Structure 1
Amino acid sequence: MNKLFLSLCCLALIHCKKNEPQSLNANLVDVLQEDKVDASIKFPSEKTISEKATSISKKIIKNGDMKIQVADINKAQSQINTFLKNNKAYIQKERFQNNDLDENLDLTIRVPHQNFDALINLFSTGVGSVLSKNVSSDDVTEEYTDVSIKLANKKIYLEKYREMLKSAKTTKDMLEIQENIRALEDEIDVSEGRLRFIDDRVNYSTLNLSLYKEKVRSSATSRIGFGSRFGDSLTEGWNSFVEFLLGIISLWPFFLLIPVVVFLWRKWRNKRKK
């Protein structure tokens, strides 16, 4: 009887050890569920976040492209610099090209959005002859609002995970929570970067301005001397000769047929004589 009692006790102990991890996992799930309930009390609800997001002002990105023909590139650039200074704008990128036919100055200008239209008008009337102009407006309010709401929710979850990390009891739970924290921090960085980019494009509009000057070839005004033009003519003549020679070389398969044709013609002629 004693042996039977001892055997039953051993079986009970083994059964309890097998069920212990499940009970611990169940307790962890209960804790997490309790934490989720508490989160709704400690942090603002998604409805509150959405109401705050709807108060975001309009986000309009303005862009423009202009090409202006001028009589003097340097004079026009000096005038443009004055316009930029008066409108708190700056040049983000500049590129100058000078060839035998024309001069081109390409500028990428960033200007405060409230001064964008005024700067366009100044360029249209006070610099030169406008060859082309294109202005566009892009409303990104919806995208900005959506990113802001998601960012606020991610920050709430991040704070909650940090609280859970303090109360984690096992190494496995700590590693899982830390991995969730790391993923959320990366997503938050991306969202914040996107919002900063939109704010920058909204606060400062972008204008691509191209100044164009056509060179007049005449004996009085041309800056290209006879020596340069003579050298250009020699170069063009040599290039034409090379292209002609290459064209002939490209016909080499047909040249191989000439001996065959001559042989067949002679053979036919001899046969006809006989």
Structure 2
Amino acid sequence: MKKLSISLFCLLLIGCNKSENIAKEEVRADLTEVLQEDKVAFSSPVASNSPQPPSLISEKTESENKSNSPTQRIDTISKKIIKNGDMRIQVGDIKKSQNQINEIIKNNQAYIQKEEFQNTDIDENLYITIRVPHKKFDALVNSFSNGVGTVLSKNISSNDVTEEYTDVSIKLANKKIYLEKYRDMLKSASTTKDMLEIQENIRELEDEIDVSEGRLRFINDRVNYSTLNLNLYKEKVRSSATSNIGFGSRFGDSVTEGWNSFVSFILGMISLWPFFLLIPVFVFLWRKWKGRKKK
């Protein structure tokens, strides 16, 4: 009987120890869940009632933002090459050559952005700024080089702006991420000071985003459509009797230049009037000196 009571007592102690260990494990589990919830709430940008200032955004969030779509977009951005060109062609007839050029522009799916004509006594010049799809740029230049006239000068340049485009794209994506975070913080702002501070940062970010998007649009436009500045040049014949630069025109120009030279001489002499006032003084002194020498 004594042995039986001792055995029951031992079993009772073992059961109490097990229940105590189970209770401790449950308490630890509860504490772990509470700590995890607190950690999540602390790491969330909108967890507290008063939003954090923009300067207190964690570096971890910034590193995560940089490791998202902006970094991955580097691999998807293709080469960005801007092609520009300048050509000067001497032709026999400006109007005829212009019709030929318009046909070439139409065949290469290009368009004229600017056109300017100058007519002087010596020559005629037609300046045309052409925008052409980058794939058609070389074909357009070759078409102008063959059959239009004599190429006096040609300058073709290429500018790789891939690095600039990638840099602007990454910064733009990061700014959009921060903009969304600031908007979330604005919803949970509790004081007027915090609201004004966040709204000011939102306004600055929106302005920077507009500038970056405008720069990307400009680069895409210059990449998709190359620019060619074309100058058609015609030298006028000088031996024609009806020409504006014939003998009569030259004679009139010579008379005009002679008269202008005479007027310039008179005006130059008049500008020396202070020196003319000194001539009588020098004459008087010279005579006086000569008289003394005779005595």
Residue 269 (structure 1) aligns with: 290
- 1:211-257 CA-partner distances (Å, limit 9, x unpaired): 11111111357355766555444433332333333343444454344
Aligned length: 247
Structure 1 residues 178 and 122: CA distance shift in structure 2, 3 A:
same
Report the residue type matching 1:185 in the other structure. E
1:240 aligned onto 2:261: yes
> Can you give the 5+ residue segments of structure 2 that lack an aligned partner in the other structure?
1-47
Q: CA 1:33–1:256 in 2, change beyond 3 Å: closer, same or farther?
A: closer
Selected match of 1:115 from 105, 115, 136: 136
| 1:193 maps to 2:195 | no
Task: Name the residue aligned to 1:182.
Answer: 203
TM-score (norm 1): 0.80
Superposition deviation, residue 88 in structure 1: 1.4
Q: 1:88 to 1:252 in 2, by over 3 A?
A: farther
Instruction: Pick closer, same or farther for the CA change 1:174–1:31 going to 2, 3 Å.
Output: closer
Partner in structure 1 of residue 106 of structure 2: 85
Residue pairs, 1:195-234, within 5 angstroms: 195-219=216-240, 222=243, 228-234=249-255
Question: 1:193-226 deviations in whole A, cap 9, x for unaligned?
Answer: 1101111111111111111111111135735576
Structure 1 residue 108: deviation in Å? 1.4
Q: Find 2:50's aligned residue among 28, 34, 48.
A: 28
Tell me if the contact between 1:54 and 1:145 (Cα under 8 Å) persists in the aligned partners: no
TM-score of the superposition, structure 2-length normalised?
Answer: 0.75
Rounded Cα–Cα distance in structure 2 between residues aligned with 1:158 and 1:206: 36
Residue from 66, 73, 82 that aligns with 1:46: 66
2:152 maps to: 131
Equivalent residue number for residue 63 of structure 1: 84
Question: What letter is aligned with 2:227?
Answer: T
Indicate which of 87, 110, 118 corresponds to 1:97: 118
Considering only CA atoms, is the larger Rg found in Structure 1 or Structure 2? 2
Question: How far does the alpha carbon of each residue in 1:32-72 deviate from its partner, in whole angstroms, 9 at most, with x for none?
Answer: 899869968xx973123212123200000111111111111
Cα pair 2:65 2:177 within 8 Å, conserved: no
In 1, the alpha carbon distance for the partners of 2:78 and 2:181 equals 30
User: How many angstroms apart in 2 are the aligned matches of 1:251 and 1:30?
Assistant: 81
Give the AA of the match of 2:65. Answer: S
Q: State the percentage of identical aligned residues.
A: 74
Counterpart CA distance in 1 for 2:172 and 2:267 is 64
Aligned equivalents of 2:226, 2:55: Cα separation in 1: 48
